[in-house]
Amino acid sequence: MRRALLRSTAFVRAARRAVRKDPQVARAVQTTLERLEEDAFHPLLRTHKLKGKLEGSWACSAGFDLRIVFSFASGEGSEAILLEAIGAHEEVY
């Protein structure tokens, strides 16, 4: 099921910061977002539920130590994915 990706301002800022720090991250993020849009539970994404203060959100892998935190949302009659944060494991959790 294809879902629309909605980018929060926090996600956009963090993505820009990650790409500035390492320009090669851009390709990995783009590939991950395309997979996420097509199938949020694609095996390569290693999607998992979060607990604690991030309960209700999900995370997927966008590289060795890069994670994308998101939640499922609905709007205008279709499902969407709200991208909340991106960063290294210790930055987003």
Q: Where do the domains of the chain lie, and which CATH numbers do they carry? A: 4-92 (3.30.2310.20)
Give the neighbor-by-neighbor strand order of the sheet with 4-7: 4-7, 78-88, 66-75, 58-61, 48-49
- Looking at the chain, the whole-number percentage of residues with pLDDT higher than 90 is 75
Q: What is the pLDDT of residues 49-77, one digit of tens each?
A: 999 999 999 999 998 889 999 999 986 67
- What confidence score (pLDDT) does residue 12 get? 96
Given a cut of 80, is residue 40 above it in pLDDT?
yes
The whole-number pLDDT of residue 79 equals 87
What pLDDT, on the 0 to 100 scale, is given for residue 75?
A: 65
Average pLDDT rounded to a whole number, residues 36-44: 95
Reported pTM: 0.91
What is the maximal distance between C-alpha atoms in the chain?
38
3-state secondary structure 46-91: CCEECCHHHCCCEEEECCCCEEEEEEEEEECCEEEEEEEEEEEHHH
**What's the pLDDT at 77?**
72
Q: Percent of the chain at pLDDT above 70?
A: 98
